[in-house]
Amino acid sequence: MRFKSYLCWLLLLSISILAACTSATSLGRSEKQQMVEHVKTVEKSEFDLIYFNKSHKQYFKIVNEIVSEEYWVSMSDEVVFGYDSVTYTRDDLKNMSQWDYDKHKERMLRLIHRIEMDKLSVTVRISDVYKGNQANQVNIYTFENKELKDQPFTATTKKYTLEKLDKKWLITGVEQDKFNYGSEQTAEEMEEGIKGLKYQTHDGKAIGYPTVLVLG
């Protein structure tokens, strides 16, 4: 009986040590920085895809090395653009011919210019690496502010999940929350809207964002 209890204790100890070795606090500085760079790459690539700075093929080539298959599946039906009551998802772009893409790009760039979305400026603040829900998992948070002609446009918070798969840290998922500013909103309403966004705390503590990425 004592021998079985000892074996159980050893097993629990081994699990605890394994969890500690892969927790966010035990990761090296260069490893953490690499994860932050992964998130920076995805954020910039998403911007380039949405605003037609890069084709889906170019976007996929850049991002595919740092995200998992699970990530692609979760994002496949997300709408990238649309007009004339028709929307186009990531899967649509993936399977689109170059001729069709160029046609849509030309139409969308004219639309973007007409509604002055080409004057949009984007600032993305990125957090440090936080411990995830599992031993081989971490989280990185972002806070994105969009301004149009120096006026607040949208605020978006995200929670990225990264997992160690085959000795590589890959982005496996992202959750987000968004607030749209309105011209008739009061300062108090805007403040409440920002405060109400999810993914601004981790284990009850406010997220810090030491890395800043400017786009547009």
If phi > 0 it is left, if psi is from -120 to 50 it is alpha, else beta; for residue 110 that is: alpha
| Dihedral sign computed on CA atoms, order 203, 189, 157, 124 | negative
Kindly tell me if the per-residue pLDDT of 7 is higher than 70.
no
Token readout for 68 is 């998992």
116 lies in some domain: yes
Q: How confident is the model at residue 14 (pLDDT cuts 50, 70, 90)?
A: very low
45 lies in some domain: yes
Q: How confident is the model at residue 120 (pLDDT cuts 50, 70, 90)?
A: very high
191 lies in some domain: yes
Q: Average pLDDT of 53-69?
A: 97
What backbone torsions phi and psi does residue 213 show, to the nearest 5 degrees? -120, 125
199 lies in some domain: yes
Kindly tell me if the per-residue pLDDT of 51 is higher than 60.
yes
126 lies in some domain: yes
If phi > 0 it is left, if psi is from -120 to 50 it is alpha, else beta; for residue 84 that is: left
16 lies in some domain: no
Measure Cα distances from 207 to 26, 27, 124, 197 in Å. 19, 19, 14, 13
Give me the CATH number covering residue 81.
3.10.450
Total domains present in the chain: 1
Would you give the DSSP letter of residue 67? B
1 lies in some domain: no
| pLDDT > 90 in the chain, percent | 82
Q: Average pLDDT of 93-121?
A: 96
Q: How confident is the model at residue 22 (pLDDT cuts 50, 70, 90)?
A: very low
Predicted pLDDT of residue 26? 73
Query: Which pTM does this prediction carry?
Result: 0.87
Q: Which of 65, 85, 88 is nearest to 76 (CA)?
A: 88
Q: How confident is the model at residue 25 (pLDDT cuts 50, 70, 90)?
A: low
Kindly tell me if the per-residue pLDDT of 18 is higher than 70.
no
Measure Cα distances from 192 to 48, 152, 185, 196 in Å. 30, 14, 11, 6
Give the structural domain span for 63.
28-215
Kindly tell me if the per-residue pLDDT of 15 is higher than 70.
no
Half-sphere exposure of 119 (CA within 13 A, CB side): 10
